[in-house]
Amino acid sequence: EPEVTQTPSHQVTQMGQEVILRCVPISNHLYFYWYRQILGQKVEFLVSFYNNEISEKSEIFDDQFSVERPDGSNFTLKIRSTKLEDSAMYFCASSRFVSPTNEQFFGPGTRLTVL
């Protein structure tokens, strides 16, 4: 069964460093998302991406964040200058269509630890 994959599973970085989190969505999916979950808190939406552009972003997704689909399979989240409060589990998700009734499928997550 097709699934969303994410690499790395765990990333440790120093405050102020740039990190890139990678995702491979399900191959015939067109809509991509990033969410995050700070330890002990709710899963929060960051950004959605369709047709090579951001379609929606939350107030969390400020100028230090960016997303890119560099080729036909990868979808990346870049954090330009990490802060301690960026430590969280980051989930990538994808859905096949843009229909509002469509199901989102999540990857296993990347645990980001900022020291």
Span 44-63, contacts to another protein by CB under 8 A? 44-45, 48, 55-56, 58
| Nearer to another protein (CB atom), residue 35 or residue 75 | 35
Asked if 75 touches another protein (CB under 8 A), the answer is no
54/89 Cα distance (integer angstroms):
21
112 Cβ contact list (under 8 Å, min separation 6): 11, 13, 19, 21, 79, 82, 86, 87, 88, 89, 90
Binding status of residue 113 toward another protein by CB under 8 A = no
- Name which of residues 5 to 24 contact another protein (CB under 8 A): 6
What contacts 113, CB < 8 A, 6 or more positions away?
10, 11, 12, 13, 87
Pairwise CA distance, residues 68 & 62, whole Å: 15
Q: DSSP state, 30?
A: -
Q: How far is the CB of 10 from another protein (least distance, A)?
A: 10
Any contact of residue 42 with another protein (CB under 8 A)?
yes
Of 22, 69, 96, 111, the one binding another protein (CB under 8 A) is 111
**Contacts with another protein, residue ranges (CB under 8 A):** 6, 31, 33, 35, 41-45, 48, 55-56, 58, 91, 95, 98, 100-101, 103-109, 111
